Each structure stands twice: as C-alpha cells, then as structure tokens.
Amino acid sequence: MADSRAGKRYARALFSLATDDQVVDRVLEDLRGLRALIAQSEDLRRFVQHPALPDEKQKDVMKAMFGGRVAPLTERFLQFLVDRRRLALLVDICEVYEDLYCVARNIQRISIEYSHSLRDDQVRAIEAKMGARYGKDIETTTVHEASLLGGFRVRVGDVVHDFSVRGKLDGLRVALTT
C-alpha cells in the first residue's frame, strides 16, 4: 500500500458513514466495481495515480464516469478524495473497506485453486468444512491452477491447506525420508 495508514483511516471513515446511512452493502458493491475497473483499465489506473492532474479535471472525469451509477455516499467520497488529493489511495481504501466489511459480517474469504473443474457441490462441501473450521461464513473465489497435477489448495489469508496430488506426494516423500 502506498500510504496504508491514510488508506485505513479513509476506509474506516467511509465504513462508519456507510453504517450510519445503512448503505454498507451498496458501497461495498461500488468499491468492488471500482477496484475491478481500475484493475482492467490501464488508463483509469494511470488517471487515479496521476498526482499532477488538476482537481477540477479529476472531479469532472469522476462525475462523468460514476455520477448516478454509484451510491450517493460513494460519489461524495470520490469527490472528497479528489479534494484531498488522495485519489491514488482508492485501491487501498477498497481493500481495507472490504476487510472491515468481512469482519463486521463474520465472513472469511477463501480462494480455492483447482486443477480440474470443481462441481458446485464440491465447492459447497469445501466451504462447509472451512466454515466449520473457522467458525465464519465463507466467501469463495475459485482459480484454475494448471500447475496442479490434481486435487486442490485452499488459501485462507496467508494459510494454505494443500489437498493437491503434489502436496500429498511431498508429504509422502518427507515421511519416507525421515
């Protein structure tokens, strides 16, 4: 993060305002959409990170792109970031806001990396096991990982639960050599 302390402060303030206005879910949708747009568009990424653009130009562009398409609170917040010359923190703010949302809603985000397609019932079974293990509701993203020989890995923050063929073979090799 470019300035993680400032990004955290802005995200906490936005989350507090969204809670007061009862638009926490809507703002989360807006911020996820903004983050996805920034990730997809090199031009938008450069625009957000550009420190020398005049405030009025940034405001006009933000209003043209997002005016009426996002919650009023999100729109005001974007204008506020432009006024404070903090638009470059937007991606960081989006990430911290989502973390705050997950903590408030008792949600654990996980990522399932798989070698071959997983059926919906398999994903639900993995979610149920992880939900029981962590005592939280689970929000899942799935990622195809061609380097896996078979099976899957579940990433929960910095922790990796390895249920792949490679992981089992590595475990067997360690057991046989010790």
pLDDT in tens, 23-58: 999 999 999 999 999 999 998 888 888 877 787 888
Per-residue pLDDT band for 1 (boundaries 50, 70, 90) equals: very low
The mean predicted confidence, pLDDT, of the chain is 91
Q: How far is CA 41 from CA 60, 94, 112, 137, in A?
A: 18, 16, 26, 32
Domains along the chain?
4-103 (1.10.520.20), 107-177 (no CATH)
Instruction: State the pTM of this model.
Output: 0.80
Write out pLDDT tens, residues 84-124.
989 899 999 999 999 999 999 999 999 999 988 899 999 99
